[in-house]
Structure 1
Amino acid sequence: MINPVDKVLDELYVGLKDLIKQNIGFKVILKGITSKLEALRPVIGQMVRSNEELDRSREELQGLQEVMECGIELIRKCSKLRVWKLFKKYKYANKLIEWDKTLQGQLVILNVQTSRDVKETAARMKLLKDGVSMLVLTAPGGCGKTTLANMLYHDQDVKGKFDKNIFFVNVSTKKSNYIVVQELCQLMGSKEADFPNEDIAFNCLQELMEEKRPDPLFLILDDVWPKSESLLEKFNDVTIQSNCNILVTSRSSFPRFGSPYPLVALNEKDAMTLFRHSAFRGDESYDVPEDLQDKIVRRCKGCPLAIKVVGKSLRGERTESWLKRERELSKGASIFDIETEVQVLLCLKSSLDALDEKDQTIKECFLDLGAFPEDQRIPATALIDMWAELYGLDADFLSIDYLQQLSTRSLANLVITRKEAMEADGYYSEHFVSQHDVLRDLAVFQAKLDPNKTRLIIDKCEGNVCKSLTEQKHQSTRILSISYDGVLSTKLHNIQLAEVEVLVLNFQTKKYAFPEFVAEMANLKVLIVTSHGFLPAELSNFQVLGLLPNLKRIRLERISIASIAKNRVELKSVKKISLFLCSIGQVFTNSSFQISDAFPNLVELNIDYCSDLVELPVDLCDLIHLKTLSITHCHKLSALPSEIGKLINLEVLRLKSCTDLVTFPASTKDLEKLSFLDISDCFSIKELPYDIGEISTLKKINMRQCSRVEELPVSVLNLEQLQEVICDEETKGSWELFNLNIKIRVLKEDFNLNWLPKYHSV
């Protein structure tokens, strides 16, 4: 049977072809419309099949059918025009253009529906697959988890497998496990109205499930919160023994119960379609300029809930109200700053409110993410520095654990770009955090509500002065974040910032000077400076840091260190320096700059992706307090200082991906406290230090992708404390020849290149 939409499409297509042949003068417009219809044919067929498979109403194609019927009528009128009637030709040309816009809108809707069908089908097929007992559908609040669960509940394929054994119960944060189990018992036909306790209720539920065997059972547990994890534990045990599938929707991913199925934000086209559905009736959308609609939709960051609420709040409003809303948003206001968006706020804020008192540090860590600019990946090492000083997380892996918990709760995404499989070796320079912009807006909004103003986040400044700094008192501010595109005035004085412990500076200019008020931050412990320009920026007025007695950690990204070396300054309190994508080569070859004089008490030095680093300064070996020296992805580094053995307190030497490095100095054997040597991906190295056996404290060696090392020095027999070697299959045999009582790990490569364009050209 021919689908009515297909029939109308054929009639419209024939009419267009005939009109083109008449050569009345609409040829360019008509050919454009014809090409759209040709592209539309397979899409309609796919939609019809999908609707039949998913048991959806044909009304979803009704709008398209009506548009095409209007098009047929318009083409009939155009075909009756006479060549000499110029005014009417102009009139109907405009009508064709307007109709073409309406047709384009229907195509966008079709794309959204098709995308939804693919997403729903993917989740459905995963549930119907044998061996999958529990699937966790996870995303932040307002992303459509419950909507998708309801679609699956009514899906014909799901009904075909489970028949009447499909049960849907809302868990929420307000219900106890006992209430949830009791509701399920009643849904399954229990005659008991009440149970003495949760255990008895669950035993009854198990009996009811057993009665339905061998028929399969499908349970949908909607809106599950972390406090109900014990309930999932019980259900997980049950599903292993019975023929039961469970769909869980939650803001937490519950990784212990299998791989989660994350929902992603809407793309631009889908977001606009949803927005117009919420904001307009019929053809009203064309009364508001499309570019104005687009600007407002982009501020909703693809969050379905935000899109629907903002759209509904503007429905029926005049264009002036739209312009006012867009102006508010363009000046940095978030969707939470608008009174009508309280529904969005309450929905997302509930994720934070649900955290127990013991999870308050997790909440604080989430709020700290707002200190970094939107649409930028946050280096995990920057957060490690912050949280070590703010919350006493003195081991780096503790901060990573908090990031994993934020990711589990759908409050952030932890992205790991390193090649090899995950291992707890203390290297986190290839860990990054991304966050939905709406969640970032929530963090910033919460900071504004804080009566103590613990966090001051300044995304924009008026002129070259930040009014938020000059007009407010900041006696309790611990974190100050300033993101600025222009040149910030350095002449700001008398600003009360003595209690600031973390300063985050973001800019895009080629040159940047530290403001004078930095010198007044007597309690500053962590400084994070990031240039978001393409090339390393020059940083001046560095000498103000010499007035900070408590500064312990400095992280610089895309900064030219040459500009810093011009200012002679001694920072005795600094313990850790991290340089990422910085220009440092000229400084380290300049004999006038002494790193040991500038940072005499340095304990940790990290240099990552500094492509111009050829050699390290000799005086680096005078940093006698140094415990960690990590130099990674510096491909031009060809040699280490000959006196490196003077670093008598060095515990970690990491030279990962220094591809031009060939050999080690003889003094390497004098590193009497070294416990970990990482030369992974240093594929130019042909041999380990001849006297490596004299490093009696060495416990771990990572020499993955060092296949040129064909033979090992005999002295490895003296490595009595060596516990683990990470290597390739080729090198494994060399170690096994020595018959050492150690663990030999062969790692496989799992390289993700998606992140590279953001940081350097490939």
Structure 2
Amino acid sequence: MAAAFIGGAFLGAVFGELLRVVVEAKEKAKNFKPQLEQLESTLRNNAEVIEQIEKYNKILDHPRSETQLLIEKMKEGEKLVLKCLTVKWNPIKRTRYADKLMKLNSLVDRFFQVDMQAQQTRDNKEILLGMRELQGSFITSFSIGDNSGKFNQDRIIRPCSVPDLPEITPGLDVPLEELKRELLRDGKQVIIVSAPGGTGKTTLIKKLCKEEQVEDKFKDNIFFVTVSKPHDVKVIVQKIIQHMDKDVPEFKTDEDAINDLGRLLKEMGSQPILLVLDDVWSESASMLHKFESQLPNYKILVTSRSVFPKLGFEYNLKPLNEEAAETLFHYTTGGDSDFRDKKLVYKILGMCKGSPLALTVVGRSLCGRPAAVWKSREKKWQDATIFHSNTDLLVCLQSSLDALDDKLKDCYMDLGSFPEDHRIPVTALIDMWVELYKGDEDDLYAILSDLSNVNLFDLVVTSDEGSYHDHFVVQHDLLRELIIHQSMPGPVEKMKRLFIEISGNNFPEWWLEQKSQPVNARLLSITTDDTFLSSWYDIEAPAVEVVVLNVRTKEYTMPNFMEKMENLKVLVVTGCGFLPVELSNFQLLGSLPTLKRTRLERVSIPLFEMTTMQMKHLHKISLVLCNVGQVFSNSTFQISNAFPNLKELDIDYCNDLESLPNDIGNIVSLKILSITNCHKLSHLPDGIGKLVNLEVLRLASCTDLEALPDSIENLTNLKFLDISECLSITELPVQIGEIYRLETLYMRGCSSCDLPSSIMNLKNLEIVQCDEKTSYKWEELQACFPSLTIDVHKEDVNLHWLYK
């Protein structure tokens, strides 16, 4: 019975057999009952751990040498317990066997308390470090705008996996069966699902890809890629190759990329392959031909607002019928539609034209609102003026947007700054809004939450740590289109926001014609494609406070006209290609007198420019997925000279960062230092102790970081410390007891980290967030802390945090 409880694994079976013998013997061998009860307790307390050891030894393909001693001792222990049954009245034997039982108990206990902890730490670290080589590639899939990357069964992100479905999908059963029948038969290679935006094309093909018959046929060979506008064949192929766990090359031409993909697909032989190209625009028709192949069992499934005659099988997705529309509307209104005037409800349903997007947005905006609001909205929709391409759907969505108060609407309109289908980091939005609208960061996040509640976008919360540090926003491309059109009425000179897209060197006509009259926009967003030549024309934009540059080229020259933006406060540069973009003319930022916040994502920072630049007014710099190692490790780079008044430094997923500049401690203005997911960072400079104004120190998931420096004792203003998943830290320094203002300590995944006795000096400590094993250490000390809350998070060796 005990063996069955433990499981059939080798170590588990031996363990279970010993436990069974002990349970039976304690009732018969009365002379050894205390020793046997103690041994039984030790075994039962660690039964679950045995299963974990066997599980991870199997995953990591470890030999049993590490647990062999325990196995042998448990086998000997079983024999020992059986011998105890034969000992009757001989006092010498009773004493000798009692001692042996106590030694066996001590050996087993030591293994779980010491040896097993070391092994588990090693295993966790090996899993994390084994992911290091994959990190740069799988994070790429999220950085280049695609939100489809998901974990496979081993919890490794695969960039072309099929995204999750909405909670309900009414009205798609018939189209699903019709499309599935076409996909599974030996028909045309290319299948195009066409319909207007917001009709549910993407939802339909996601549902199709998750059908059992489809999964059985194509198995792991379903590649789901969001194409969007402008398309980039090289990036699409790189995603597919990355998904196949192959080395991802850099391609010079589309032809090179297609040829390499064709070679890899041929290597798969006759295996059925399904390539899904979602959201293909009409100008990308020629691209579809490039992905065609003579391979058998190879299908291409396309979604588009356009039709592509003669390319393949065309399936036109119809709007939802009345019954399905009412079901979805009922769901999004939280059931409110049941208690309303049915005539009013059906009028609103009619306005939504069977569009799942409109039904979701409109329904959510009416959820919980009084009857007067429902009637008012319906009247506005009736009176609305069609503003673009006779699209009733856009009118319906526009009315929901117009219902927002001015501040909410202003914030929402800024989302148009980022490319279609792009993951928008919440921190980037907050950086923009803090300077544009002068609000508190927490209040601005509340606005973001309010906008999410009316379904104008999806707010993806990646953790429940009480911080939005890793959260992001995803919006439907039709809603982004609505923002663009709402932002561009009237002459360019009077627009509050300018959203500009440049292909090659084709600038908007108004830009080329601009002479002496400046534009007055406060926000300027420029998106360039992979053919852009970085040859800039001048522009007068003195009122601009926020610049967002979305870059798809490998090399990019910062525009000279930015030097004249005397009111520029925020700069966001995002590399949207597969590789980090190499910036030049970066030193011009040093001449901007009001620049306070800069965010660089997937950017390679130029060493020769950084060593001489000064940004005296900069308060915050964020570096995400950037190549920074060359700059930070160079002895000529003085970070305190470059950013003398910095208040916040965020470095995330910079995989080449091995050390921080030695003079970082000279930036005494620094209040927040966040270095996360930088797996090669092995130590912190002693100069950290000079940061006397530091209030927040995040070091989460820096797996090679071996220790906190002793100089940490000087951080007497530190209130928040996060060392979660810092697996190489085996003990906290004694000096940590000097950080007497510390209120919050995160140390998830730090079960092997010892706590010094000085930890009891932290009388202001209010929250410790840790795993279950670490919580036992804190519970023993809890009496020393008057208001301590221990927040226990279950250990997550499957690395769910990497989804961030």
Opposite residue 481 of structure 2, the aligned amino acid is D
Distance 1:457 1:222 in 2: 24
| Aligned: 1:458 with 2:631 | no
Q: Quick check: 2:423–2:473 contact (8 Å CA) kept in 1?
A: yes
Match of residue 742 from structure 2: 698
| Aligned: 1:352 with 2:401 | yes
| Aligned: 1:366 with 2:412 | yes
Which of 299, 317, 339 does residue 389 from structure 2 map onto? 339
| Aligned: 1:387 with 2:430 | no
How far apart are 1:444 and its partner, in Å?
A: 0.6
- The 5 A counterparts of 1:207-226 are 224=363, 226=365
Q: Quick check: 1:539–1:563 contact (8 Å CA) kept in 2?
A: no
Distance 2:607 2:449 in 1: 37
How far apart are 1:417 and its partner, in Å?
A: 2.6
Distance 2:423 2:360 in 1: 33
| Aligned: 1:441 with 2:481 | yes
Match of residue 618 from structure 1: 662
Q: Quick check: 1:605–1:630 contact (8 Å CA) kept in 2?
A: yes
Number of aligned residues: 482
What secondary structure is seen at the aligned counterpart in 1 of 2:593? coil
Match of residue 677 from structure 1: 721
Cα separation, partners in 2 of 1:405 and 1:752, compared to 1, 3 Å: farther
Match of residue 512 from structure 1: 556
| Aligned: 1:481 with 2:525 | yes
Q: Which runs of 5 or more structure 1 residues have no equivalent in the other structure?
A: 1-53, 68-96, 120-141, 155-164, 176-219, 233-247, 252-335
Match of residue 791 from structure 2: 745
Match of residue 452 from structure 2: 407
Match of residue 136 from structure 1: none
Distance 1:730 1:64 in 2: 49
Match of residue 377 from structure 1: 423
Match of residue 720 from structure 1: 763
Distance 2:471 2:328 in 1: 36
Distance 1:231 1:623 in 2: 54
Q: Quick check: 2:677–2:702 contact (8 Å CA) kept in 1?
A: yes
Distance 2:797 2:454 in 1: 26
Structure 1 residues 672-708: Cα deviation after superposition (integer angstroms, max 9, x where no partner): 1100001111122111121211111111100011111
- The 5 A counterparts of 1:108-187 are 144=320, 147-150=323-326, 169=342, 171=344
Q: Quick check: 2:172–2:204 contact (8 Å CA) kept in 1?
A: no
Cα separation, partners in 2 of 1:581 and 1:228, compared to 1, 3 Å: closer
Which of 647, 658, 664 does residue 708 from structure 2 map onto? 664
Which of 751, 759, 783 does residue 707 from structure 1 map onto? 751
Cα separation, partners in 2 of 1:531 and 1:467, compared to 1, 3 Å: farther
- Structure showing greater relative contact order (alpha-carbon pairs closer than 8 Å, 6 or more residues apart): 2
What secondary structure is seen at the aligned counterpart in 2 of 1:459? strand
| Aligned: 1:733 with 2:776 | yes
Match of residue 18 from structure 2: none
Cα separation, partners in 2 of 1:725 and 1:401, compared to 1, 3 Å: same
What secondary structure is seen at the aligned counterpart in 2 of 1:577? strand
How far apart are 1:735 and its partner, in Å?
A: 1.2
Distance 2:639 2:420 in 1: 34
- The 5 A counterparts of 1:411-422 are 411-418=456-463, 422=464
What secondary structure is seen at the aligned counterpart in 2 of 1:737? helix
Opposite residue 633 of structure 2, the aligned amino acid is T
How far apart are 1:146 and its partner, in Å?
A: 5.9
- The 5 A counterparts of 1:305-316 are none
Distance 1:477 1:703 in 2: 45
Distance 1:680 1:57 in 2: 45
Match of residue 281 from structure 1: none
Which of 582, 599, 614 does residue 538 from structure 1 map onto? 582
Distance 1:366 1:462 in 2: 29
How far apart are 1:339 and its partner, in Å?
A: 3.0
Match of residue 368 from structure 2: 229
Cα separation, partners in 2 of 1:147 and 1:348, compared to 1, 3 Å: farther
| Aligned: 1:643 with 2:687 | yes
Distance 2:692 2:581 in 1: 35
Distance 2:500 2:704 in 1: 42
Q: Which runs of 5 or more structure 2 residues have no equivalent in the other structure?
A: 1-169, 209-317, 331-337, 349-358, 378-385
What secondary structure is seen at the aligned counterpart in 1 of 2:502? coil
Q: Quick check: 1:153–1:168 contact (8 Å CA) kept in 2?
A: no
Q: Quick check: 1:376–1:434 contact (8 Å CA) kept in 2?
A: yes
Distance 1:59 1:700 in 2: 53
Opposite residue 470 of structure 2, the aligned amino acid is E
Match of residue 525 from structure 1: 569
Name the stretch that deviates more: 557-566 or 441-450: 557-566
Q: Quick check: 1:539–1:564 contact (8 Å CA) kept in 2?
A: no
Identity over aligned residues, as a percent? 47
How far apart are 1:539 and its partner, in Å?
A: 0.8
What secondary structure is seen at the aligned counterpart in 2 of 1:653? strand
Cα separation, partners in 2 of 1:170 and 1:582, compared to 1, 3 Å: farther
Distance 1:56 1:730 in 2: 47
Which of 508, 511, 514 does residue 469 from structure 1 map onto? 511
What secondary structure is seen at the aligned counterpart in 1 of 2:680? coil
Opposite residue 450 of structure 2, the aligned amino acid is Q
How far apart are 1:534 and its partner, in Å?
A: 1.9
What secondary structure is seen at the aligned counterpart in 2 of 1:664? coil
How far apart are 1:610 and its partner, in Å?
A: 0.2
Q: Quick check: 1:479–1:500 contact (8 Å CA) kept in 2?
A: yes
How far apart are 1:594 and its partner, in Å?
A: 0.8
Distance 2:507 2:174 in 1: 59
Match of residue 596 from structure 1: 640
TM-score by length of 2: 0.54
Opposite residue 413 of structure 1, the aligned amino acid is D
Which of 498, 501, 523 does residue 542 from structure 2 map onto? 498
Structure 1 residues 548-574: Cα deviation after superposition (integer angstroms, max 9, x where no partner): 110000000111123464562211110
Match of residue 577 from structure 1: 621
Q: Quick check: 1:632–1:658 contact (8 Å CA) kept in 2?
A: yes
TM-score by length of 1: 0.57
How far apart are 1:471 and its partner, in Å?
A: 3.1
Opposite residue 423 of structure 1, the aligned amino acid is E
Cα separation, partners in 2 of 1:56 and 1:714, compared to 1, 3 Å: closer
How far apart are 1:169 and its partner, in Å?
A: 2.1
Distance 1:705 1:57 in 2: 44
> RMSD between aligned alpha carbons?
4.4
Q: Quick check: 2:589–2:615 contact (8 Å CA) kept in 1?
A: yes
How far apart are 1:469 and its partner, in Å?
A: 3.1
Distance 1:174 1:62 in 2: 30
